Amino acid sequence: MNRDTAEKQINKLHNLLNQYNYEYHVLDNPSVPDSEYDKLMQELVQLESEYPELITPSSPTQRVGGQALSDFEKVRHQTQMLSLANAFSESDLRDFDRRVRQAIDDSYSYVCELKIDGLAVSLRYEEGLFVQGSTRGDGTIGEDITSNLRTIRSLPLKLKEPYSIEVRGEAFMPKKSFIKLNKEKEAKGEMLFANPRNAAAGSLRQLDPKIAASRNLDIFLYGIGDFGTMGVSTHSSGLDLLERVGLKVNKERKRCNSIEEVLQYIERWTKDRPNLDYEIDGIVIKVDSLDQQIDLGTTAKSPRWAIAYKFPAEEVVTKLTDIELSVGRTGVITPTAILEPVRVAGTTVQRASLHNEDLIREKDIMLGDWVIVKKAGDIIPEVVHVLEERRNGEEIPFHMPTHCPECSSELVRLDGEVALRCLNPKCPAQRREGLIHFASRNAMNIEGLGEKVISQLFALELVKDPADIYSLTEDQLLSMERMGEKSAANLLKAIEVSKSNSLEKLLFGLGIRHVGAKAAATLAEHFETMDKLAVAKTEDLLLIDEVGEKMADAISTYFENEEVEQLLVKLKNAGVNMEYLGPKRSETVNIDSIFNGKTVVLTGKLEKMSRNDAKAKIESMGGKVTGSVSKKTDLVIAGEEAGSKLTKAEELGIEVWDEEKLLEELEK
């Protein structure tokens, strides 16, 4: 392929990948399977490696790249980013409407939009290409965070039309990403983010864009610095224009013809707010007509044609009766506040995480204190602060222990961490938590072996390490509370099935520090067998792109442990697979596979394999497995007790297979 042909193909790939990315991340309606997107991306990477002079800033390969910054440069906004005045009640909103009505002699309408709880940003496009992104700052000057914003998949690097514009929006962290991030930080003994907004802001102000890329941020765009230059006459038509050129705009916006309709909109989202996948902290109300916005004008800080209604934060008062300590799988000691039961954001709360000793000291929390509690991000119960004025002298200061509450080993605080840890590998709490992790869905996926069952087995000393799970007998299981013959038989069957898991499942289940599910898969594919990984030297591990010094040291230290060596022998003798069974990344999907390019839905219970195994095998053969049936579904695999998905497939005339047919095709 010569240079001219390569350039044409690269431009074609840019257009295809941008379109597929837009369908997936903005429209949530992909038209091609992930395997097709990955194939095209690899083709583009190959062409750009052969012709590096053809790499452009808007290439889909350039979302995460470059060196970490030493500092953020300052950026002057072309149009000032004003803040909004706030309303906290219906009375405040009616006063705002009265002021608008008095200033405008004609009819008017409003546009209501959800107020996303994130970080306000400004994006600059030149001839359709994303060239710069910045924080709001003081409204006139912000910080250049272009590299971090490029990592947001829903933000187009190239618009569908060649506009030169400055666009305003809100970058945010979805609820799922927030929960996942805080779980990771807690496992590492690091300070947790208080809410998704802080997490989003902290992610976008990372000097290394690779960290921002790992945080799974998203964005909604809500305006242009100067709509008047775009040939539109209303704010609502301006939002439609942003959508048309490929920018992500919140679809829950509504045009309202009166303040009564605005109040109805607010009432609806006050109730439905918990059902959203992201956090909102209010509603933004704007006069729709751009001419009327100009007539109303602005104050020094905010426009007179817009206002932000802020939801009242639901905070309640209750008594903190105790602080309970728990020991996690990695030895982190986590204090939890025990509260007198109280209703917060629709649920009864009796416990709230206090995270670590520093937070308890910072908030001066004592046993017996009256405290204000809220749900951080409407998700996690949190102690906001103590009501010191209610103290009567009977409160008891709390001190973190010097020794583990489970095994009495001395606790330590490692360099750079805020958490106390128990470093005793024989600590019963760590072993119990390790067993729970080993059997969990993303690890060995032993159905029926949940936290309560494992806690019983551990208390009865029937299971002390993961290998003991594979020597359990029916009589032992039947001796447990609430364990009948059918449950025992099903559990033994699930334990037997787990023996055939691919190596990465076992690796993740062992709970090696710093080795998550993704790293486990990378290691398993690279070394192929447990024996090869166990003898790998630190320098060999560091040759793998996704392995850093901390992980390499943790892996080496783990396999040097004599107890680990004995555990692996026990697992091997029990018949647990120690080899990687998945496809190599270098292998090309068989284009003749019946699943290649097909969208498949699994429903009902499969008898001879787990749903996760079926999903992995179908995807390894080029198929895409989704969770819902639609017109885009090509095939439904129906196991026992298949319900509404099977019914819908039959209504739409989609091909349906049973498990036997699936196994037959997989064997081919």
Report the catalytic residues.
Answer: 115
CA distance 337 to 335: 7
Q: Cβ(168)–Cβ(121) under 8 Å? A: yes
Task: Yes or no: say if 637 and 601 are a contact pair by the CB < 8 Å rule.
Answer: yes
Measured CA to CA, the distance from residue 591 to residue 301 in angstroms comes to 60
Helices 34-50 and 3-25: angle between axes, nearest 10 degrees:
150
> How far is Cα 598 from Cα 636, in angstroms, rounded to an integer?
10
Beta strand pairing call for 635-638 and 599-603: parallel
Please answer whether residues 385 and 363 qualify as being in contact, where contact means their C-beta atoms are separated by less than 8 angstroms: yes
289 CB-near residues (< 8 Å, 6+ apart): 108, 109, 233, 234, 235
Q: Cα–chain-centroid distance for residue 211?
A: 13
Phi, psi dihedral angles at 375 (to 5 degrees) = -100, 115
Tokens, residue 77:
């906004």
Q: Which of these, 608, 647, 613, lies nearest to 629 by C-alpha position?
A: 647
Closest C-alpha to 481, from 459, 505, 512, 498: 459
Spatial separation of the C-alpha atoms in residues 567 and 510, rounded to whole Å = 10
Q: Is the CA virtual torsion 584, 589, 592, 597 positive or negative? A: positive
Q: In what order do the strands lie in the sheet with 333-344?
A: 347-353, 333-344, 316-327, 370-376, 380-386
State the DSSP string of 418-471: -S-EE--TT-HHHHHHHHHHHHSTTTT--TT--HHHHHHHHHTTS-SSGGGGGG
CB 157 within 8 A of CB 150: yes
**DSSP run (H or E) holding 322:** strand 316-327
Element (H, E) at 48: helix 34-50
- Looking at 440-584, list the stretches that DSSP marks H as alpha helix, in order from N- to C-terminal side: 451-459, 474-478, 485-498, 503-509, 517-527, 530-534, 538-541, 549-560, 562-573
557-562 contact pairs (CB < 8 A, 24+)? 558/510, 558/512, 558/513, 559/533, 559/534, 559/535, 561/425
Alpha-carbon Rg for the chain in angstroms: 28
CA count, 13 A, side-chain hemisphere, 240: 11
3-state secondary structure (DSSP) of residue 310: strand
